[in-house]
Every structure is written in structure tokens, then in C-alpha cells.
């Protein structure tokens, strides 16, 4: 396994981390109109995904990314079970979780989600995460919100600083969404966050324009997510693929698949003999010097093996530069 330090906080993390959204299983929110919108992954098999994550730990993976809202708390609960059963001590792991989205611990249906980054709510949220994870501290705690109201956010950042000073967390930051690059710059320069989790892939390179260079300058740890574009940058999805109705990707994502698959074709030159599209995509995202680690979602042991084999296959400079020139985001 290859490891790196996470920005100025210096936490040692595996360069590939496991995204634990799938651990939440099939989950829905019930709208005010009575409809149910999927907010989880379909075909959840607890035994299969537990085996995959345990295999990853056996290979040295210590970075796990979850959120209190994934599976309405069940992702954190299931991750805790895996870690408790591990042969490694707690200090081996780097656990990233998130708060700021109000949810209800019911399954599989929950009422509509809302956002709250007030001090009162975040104090409740982090205690809930600590309880579900069965831990007395969290390594990295991120705000999980689309809200860009800087006035409210500054108070939230101050709350996270208090969490860090009180030993509840080791580092804090924000999970950034595509299109929020300007906000991310303010978080780095004006708010002094320790860590940002940002989308960064062959199909979404916007972070490389300003966020990643600034992160290097200010020693902010960068965890890249969506590096496989939710399955598009793998060999498992074709142009005519349709996600099932109980998968969140079926809600507003199915119609984008042909377009995204067409865009992804121009990067297939990165696939070396005997390798896969997923490995090429992981190598690309890890090639930027600001990126400490990438997060990948896995469903079984075969996917875990495939993703981990991307390590040690760094892109050559000309490959990387060509990929940058081909971007159209």
C-alpha cells in the first residue's frame, strides 16, 4: 500500500480510500407529494461488501469516507462493525465522516432532507456520529451541505474548530460539490480549513484550475472523490446502461449516460495493456501533487482488487498533459 500525508494536519492515509455510501444500502426520501426518491445504491449485499472492505483493510487501506446521512446512519454503524472486528487498532484508521444534513434514523424511508450547520445542530450531529461509529474521536469531520452562505458557514467553521480543540476531531473541512470552486477558494484562503473533499476526475477537472494549486500553497489536504464518475469511468457501464429505480443514479443520471460515455472515450488512450478504464481514471486523479488520496466506491472484492492495482502505475507526464488538454468541463 502507498500512503501520503493529509495536508498540514499530517494524518497518514492510504492513497486509495473506500467510499462508504454503498454501505448505507437502499434508502429513499419521501417527498411532500408522497413520492419516494432513491438516495442510496441498489443491489446491496451486506456480506459481499463487508468481505470487500475487510480485504481492502488487509491490503493496508486505512482511509474510509462516510457520512451520517448515508443510509440514515447505517453506513456509519456498519463501518463501525467492520473496524471493531479488524485486527488493527483504532489509530491505524483515518475515518472521514460528514454532518450538516438533517435526516431521520429510519429505514428504508425518511422524510425530506434539510440542511443545518448551526452550532446546536452540529453538536448533536457529531455526537450521533461518534455513537454510531463507536469512537471517541473522528479523524476528519466535513460539512456536508450545498449552502454557500458564508456568514452562516463562518460560524460553522468556528464550531468545527471547537470540536478540534476539544479533541472530538483531528481535522475539519468541507465536502465540495462540482460548481462550487469559487466557494472552495474562500474556504482555503479566508476560512483556513484543514481538508477539502472535491470532485476531481477525467470528466470533471475544474478543481485543477484554482482549488488544487491553492491547496498546495496553503497546505490544505485534498481528498478527491467521484474519480470514477459513479461508474462511468469503468468498463462495467455501456451506453445503453440503465440504473434500476431503487438506485440514486436512476434519478436524473440515466439520461446523461450516453453523453458521458462519449466524453470518456477520448481518455481511453490512458488504458495500458492488461489494465482497465477504472485504473486509468484512478491514476489520473492521483497524479496531481495536491491530491493526497482518492475515494472509490466498491461493491465486491473483485472491484477492490482492480482499484488497488492502479497504485504504482503513475501516468507519464505526456499522458497527464494530454488528458488536461482534452478536458471540456
Question: Which bin fits 50, alpha (ψ -120 to 50), beta or left (φ > 0)?
Answer: alpha
- Mark 89-102 as b/e (b = at least 16 C-beta within 10 Å): eeeebbbbbbbbbb
Lowest mean pLDDT among 171-175, 190-194, 222-226, 315-319: 315-319
Model pLDDT for residues 212-239, shown as the tens digit of each residue: 999 999 999 999 999 998 888 988 887 7
Among the listed ranges 28-37, 122-131, 257-266, 296-305, which one has the minimum average pLDDT value? Answer: 28-37
Residues 6+ apart with CB under 8 A from 321: none
Q: What sign has the CA pseudo-torsion 214, 217, 218, 219?
A: positive
Q: What percent of the chain has pLDDT over 90?
A: 57
Nearby residues of 229 by Cβ (< 8 Å), 6 or more positions away: 201, 202, 203, 204, 260, 264, 281
| C-alpha distance across the termini of the chain, in Å | 32
- Read off the CATH number of the domain in which 276 is found: 3.20.20.100
In contact, 196 and 9? CB cutoff 8 Å:
no
Tell me how crowded residue 314 is: count the other CB atoms within 10 A of its CB.
12
DSSP, residue by residue, 97-131: EEE-EE--S-SSEEEPPEE---HHHHHHHHHHHHH
Name the E strands within 20-62.
Answer: 28-30, 36-38
Q: Which residue has the higher pLDDT, 314 or 265?
A: 265
pLDDT for 241 equals 80
Cell matching residue 137: 474521536
The domain tally of the chain equals: 1
Rounded CA separation 188/179 (Å): 16
List pLDDT tens digits, range 280-319.
Answer: 999 999 999 999 999 999 888 999 999 999 998 778 888 8
The pLDDT of residue 150: 55
Q: What three-state secondary structure class fits 45? A: coil
DSSP state of 204: B
Alpha-carbon torsion angle 237, 242, 245, 250, nearest 10: 70
Residue with cell 438506485: 247
Task: Say what the pLDDT of residue 86 is.
Answer: 92
Q: Among 132, 138, 49, which residue's Cα sits nearest to residue 93?
A: 138
The string of pLDDT tens digits covering residues 64-111 is 999 998 988 899 999 999 999 999 999 999 999 999 988 766 555 555
In this predicted structure, the answer to whether residue 194 has a pLDDT above a threshold of 90 is: yes
Pairing of strands 36-38, 28-30: antiparallel
User: DSSP class of residue 77?
Assistant: H
Report angle CA 73, 74, 78 to the nearest 5 degrees: 130
CA distance 311 to 211: 24
Mean pLDDT of all residues in 186-192: 89
Beta bridge partners of 14: 3
Closest CA to 75 of 43, 123, 107: 107
Q: Determine the Cα–Cα distance for residues 67 and 71; give it in Å rounded to an integer.
A: 9
Q: What is the pLDDT of residue 327?
A: 82
Q: Range of 114's domain?
A: 3-325
pLDDT in tens, 109-146: 555 567 888 999 999 999 999 999 999 999 999 998 77
Amino acid at each position: 500500500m502507498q500512503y501520503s500525508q493529509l495536508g498540514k494536519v499530517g494524518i497518514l492515509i492510504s492513497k486509495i480510500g473506500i467510499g462508504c455510501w454503498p454501505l448505507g444500502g437502499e434508502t429513499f426520501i419521501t417527498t411532500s407529494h408522497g413520492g419516494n426518491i432513491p438516495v442510496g445504491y441498489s443491489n446491496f449485499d451486506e456480506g459481499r461488501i463487508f468481505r470487500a472492505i475487510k480485504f481492502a483493510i488487509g491490503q493496508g487501506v486505512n482511509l474510509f469516507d462516510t457520512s451520517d446521512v448515508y443510509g440514515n446512519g447505517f453506513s456509519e454503524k456498519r463501518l463501525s462493525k467492520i473496524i471493531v472486528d479488524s485486527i488493527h487498532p483504532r489509530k491505524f484508521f483515518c475515518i472521514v465522516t460528514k454532518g450538516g444534513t438533517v435526516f431521520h434514523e429510519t429505514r428504508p424511508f425518511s422524510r425530506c432532507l434539510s440542511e443545518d450547520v448551526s452550532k446546536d445542530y452540529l453538536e448533536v450531529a457529531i455526537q450521533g456520529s461518534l455513537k454510531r461509529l463507536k469512537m471517541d474521536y473522528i479523524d476528519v469531520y466535513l460539512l456536508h451541505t450545498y449552502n454557500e452562505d458564508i456568514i452562516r458557514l463562518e460560524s460553522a467553521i468556528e464550531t468545527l474548530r471547537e470540536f478540534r480543540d476539544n479533541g472530538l476531531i483531528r481535522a475539519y473541512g468541507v465536502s465540495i460539490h462540482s460548481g462550487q470552486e469559487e466557494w472552495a477558494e474562500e474556504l482555503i484562503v479566508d476560512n483556513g480549513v484543514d481538508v477539502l473533499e472535491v470532485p476531481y476526475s477525467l470528466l470533471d477537472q475544474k478543481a485543477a484550475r484554482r482549488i488544487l494549486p491553492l491547496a498546495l500553497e496553503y497546505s490544505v489536504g485534498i481528498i478527491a472523490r467521484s474519480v470514477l464518475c459513479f461508474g462511468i469511468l469503468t468498463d462495467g457501464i455501456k451506453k445503453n446502461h440503465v440504473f434500476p429505480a431503487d438506485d440514486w443514479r436512476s434519478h436524473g443520471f440515466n439520461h446523461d449516460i450516453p453523453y458521458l460515455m462519449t466524453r470518456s472515450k477520448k481518455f481511453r488512450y490512458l488504458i495500458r495493456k492488461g489494465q482497465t478504464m477504472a485504473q486509468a481514471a484512478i491514476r489520473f486523479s492521483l497524479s496531481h501533487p495536491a491530491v493526497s488520496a482518492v475515494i472509490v466506491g466498491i461493491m465486491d472484492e473483485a472491484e477492490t482488487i482492480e482499484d488497488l492495482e492502479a497504485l504504482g502505475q503513475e501516468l507519464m507526464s505526456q499522458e497527464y498533459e494530454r488528458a488536461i488538454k482534452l478536458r471540456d468541463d
